[in-house]
């Protein structure tokens, strides 16, 4: 893994152009250098990280596909961000498109979904509602506290991720998580198609005997995109954004986070446990849809 990371960095040096060198972690080629430069013989000036200016033949440069960061780099958060999710319970009708998109993106089988949609009923008098549930990416995460090897960790951008190359499979985190957010690879995961190496930011490929969970799609966040479940929701029930920027989006509208939470009386599940989740819920009042029981055949 170390070698791959080093290789990675070398490629990065080769491909960064002097005009636009910024200090983002070594991931992608900064494009734009080949505008009007189809000539094979054309030289491009590049700045290496030690400050030397080099001229490289344009034809020697290859455009890199987007590579997820290495497990070591995935331990650092994206600087200056604090990601949050808001779930508007009044808009969820158990369409399960978020689960589908998530399963597809993370190449999951139905026996270990990262997202579950629970049928909740707070008391006998109130109507049932659907509750999409992922990892809450707690600010005081029980799973991180109990992990004996630091395989699951908290980042500066609020994400809680798992390094499945370090996980020893003790499942203490599963016992500790009060929200049952974690799934385990009890058997060999079905072969997954991927053209890049493992990263905790993609959770692909899965490994037998290790824990997994919703990761908030950090590979998408690095590209300034939102997680797959957000865009998949047909009803705009899921908002995602940045607490520091104070804005969240559900794909069609972008709103101010603090206003949304205040005006809609947002709450978090089991606040009394002190886990400080980063997933807020808006109460299921003034619903977009009447509650309908799950169809036959859906696991309950």
Partner 1 sequence: MVKEKLFLNDQFNQKVEKDLLAHLLPHKKVGNIFIFILLAIILVGIYAYYRQLRYGLIVTSMRDYTSWGVYISNFVFLVAISLVGSLFSSILKLSKATWSTPLTRISEIIAIAAIICASVIIIVDMGRPDRFINVLIHGRIQSPIIWDVIIITTYLTISVLLLYISLIPDLAICRDKLTDAPRWKKWFYKVFSINWHGTPEQNNILHKVSFMLSVMVIPVAFAIHTVTSWLFSTTWRPGWDSTNLGPYFVSGALMAGAAVIIGAMYFIRNALNLKDYLTDKLFDHMGKLLVLLSLVYLYFNINEYLGPAFKMVGVEGEHIIELFFGKYASMYWLVQVFGLVLPIVVLVFAWGRKPLPMLIISILVLLGAWFKRFLIVIPSLQHPYLPIQDVDESYRHYIPSWEEWAITFASFAGCLLIITFLVKLLPVIPIWETKKEEGGEPKQLEV
Which CB sits closer to partner 1, 163 or 219? 163
Phi and psi angles of residue 70, each rounded to the nearest 5 degrees, phi first: -75, 160
Nearest approach, Cβ of residue 63 and partner 1 (Å): 36
In DSSP terms, 242 is beta-bridged to 83, 247
Per CB under 8 A, contacts with partner 1 among 214-233 are: none
Answer yes or no whether residue 91 interacts with partner 1 by CB under 8 A: no
User: What does the alpha-carbon distance between residue 94 and residue 243 come to, in Å, rounded to a whole number?
Assistant: 27
Record the tokens describing residue 246, joined without a space.
């104070």
Q: CB atoms < 10 A from the CB of 16, how many?
A: 21
Question: How many chain residues interact with partner 1 (CB under 8 A)?
Answer: 49
| Binding residue (CB under 8 A) for partner 1 from 77, 113, 241, 284 | 113
Record the tokens describing residue 148, joined without a space.
């004996």
Nearest approach, Cβ of residue 134 and partner 1 (Å): 12
* C-alpha distances out from residue 156 to 20, 21, 76, 137, 153, Å: 26, 23, 7, 12, 10
Which CB sits closer to partner 1, 148 or 191? 148
Nearest approach, Cβ of residue 76 and partner 1 (Å): 17
| Residue 173 CB partners (closer than 8 Å, separation 6+) | 142, 143, 144, 146, 147, 152, 182, 211
Strands 83-88 and 279-282: parallel
Answer yes or no whether residue 284 interacts with partner 1 by CB under 8 A: no
Stretch that binds partner 1, among 26-34, 59-67, 80-88, 148-156 (CB under 8 A): 148-156
| Binding residue (CB under 8 A) for partner 1 from 33, 85, 151, 257 | 151
Stretch that binds partner 1, among 23-31, 52-60, 166-174, 216-224 (CB under 8 A): 166-174
User: Which of the 8 DSSP states describes residue 149?
Assistant: S
Q: Which residue has the tokens 């607490």?
A: 243
Interface with partner 1 (CB under 8 A): 111-113, 116-120, 133, 142, 145-151, 166-172, 174-180, 182-188, 208-211, 269-270, 273, 275, 298-300
């Amino acid at each position: 893994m170390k070698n791959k990371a080093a290789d990675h960095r070398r490629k990065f040096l080769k491909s960064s152009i002097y005009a636009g060198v910024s200090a983002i972690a070594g991931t992608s080629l900064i494009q734009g250098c080949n505008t009007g430069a189809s000539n094979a013989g054309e030289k491009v000036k590049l700045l290496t990280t030690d400050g030397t200016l080099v001229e490289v033949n344009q034809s020697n440069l290859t455009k890199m596909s987007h590579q997820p960061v290495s497990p070591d780099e995935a331990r650092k958060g994206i600087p200056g961000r604090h990601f949050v999710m808001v779930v508007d319970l009044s808009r969820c009708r158990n369409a399960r498109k978020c689960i589908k998109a998530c399963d597809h993106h993370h190449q999951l089988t139905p026996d270990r979904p990262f997202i579950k949609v629970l049928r909740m009923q707070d008391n006998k008098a109130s109507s049932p509602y659907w509750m999409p549930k992922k990892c809450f990416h707690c600010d005081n995460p029980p799973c991180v506290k109990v992990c004996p090897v630091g395989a699951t960790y908290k980042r500066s951008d609020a994400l809680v991720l798992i390094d499945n190359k370090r996980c020893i499979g003790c499942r203490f985190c599963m016992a500790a998580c009060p929200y049952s957010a974690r799934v385990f690879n009890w058997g060999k995961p079905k072969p997954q198609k991927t053209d890049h190496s493992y990263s905790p930011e993609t959770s692909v490929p899965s490994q037998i005997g290790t824990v997994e969970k919703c990761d908030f799609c950090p590979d998408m966040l690095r590209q300034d995109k939102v997680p797959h479940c957000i865009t998949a929701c047909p009803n705009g029930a899921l908002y995602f954004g940045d607490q520091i920027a104070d804005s969240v989006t559900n794909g069609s509208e972008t709103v101010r986070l603090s206003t949304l939470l205040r005006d809609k009386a947002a709450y978090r599940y089991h606040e009394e446990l002190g886990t400080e989740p980063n997933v807020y819920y808006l109460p299921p009042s003034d619903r977009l849809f009447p509650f309908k029981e799950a169809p036959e055949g859906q696991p309950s």
